Structure 1
Amino acid sequence: MTKSLKVLPNKVFRFIQQKLLKDTILEQEKQTKLVNLLQSWIDEEDEQEQQETGEYLIEALDQDRLSERPLFPAELKGVTW
């Protein structure tokens, strides 16, 4: 009985070690896939779409303000933003 108790902790330790290693590798693979996806979005470089999105965001932010003062005044385009 003593012999089986000595062997069990080593088997459990190896099992846990292998499980952690496998989980770590799988997590790294997921992270790599995510990084590759994000990089592919960055590399697409659709300037027209980026310009339209930027203009829409500026307009939306200026419309939904409590103040009458615009957040992005046209006269400061290219100077401060």
Structure 2
Amino acid sequence: MTDKIKKKFDTLEKLVTRLSDKLNKLQSENIKLKSDLEALKDKSKYLEGELLKAHQNFKEKDKIIKKLSKLSELINNETEKI
């Protein structure tokens, strides 16, 4: 009977060891994934800032184009009067 108990205990011990190894592996993967997620968040914030700068730049250039267009129209009108 003690042999049966010893075998069951050994089997249980092996199972606990395997589960512990799997847990360690999953925890390690979790740490890596968290690190990757933080890196992606940082990249996303950077890209968001770059997009905002590009949008502001576009708006400024659009204003300049509109002003130049109005100026061109005024010049054309004055030229036609002459």
- If the length of structure 2 is used for normalisation, what is the TM-score? 0.53
Identical aligned residues as a percent: 12
Higher helix share: 2
Higher relative contact order (CA 8 A, sep 6+): 1
Structure 2 counterpart of 1:39? 38
- If the length of structure 1 is used for normalisation, what is the TM-score? 0.53
User: Can you give the 5+ residue segments of structure 2 that lack an aligned partner in the other structure?
Assistant: 54-82
Structure 1 counterpart of 2:50? 48
Q: What amino acid sits opposite 1:48 in the alignment?
A: E
Q: What amino acid sits opposite 1:3 in the alignment?
A: T
CA deviation vs aligned residue, 1:38-71 (integer Å, no higher than 9, x gap): 101222323114x49xxxxxxxxxxxxxxxxxxx
Q: What amino acid sits opposite 2:5 in the alignment?
A: K
1:20 aligns to 2:19 (yes or no): yes
Larger Rg: 2
CA deviation vs aligned residue, 1:6-35 (integer Å, no higher than 9, x gap): 210110110011011110110011111000
Runs of 4+ in 1 over 3 A off after TM superposition: none
Q: What amino acid sits opposite 2:40 in the alignment?
A: W
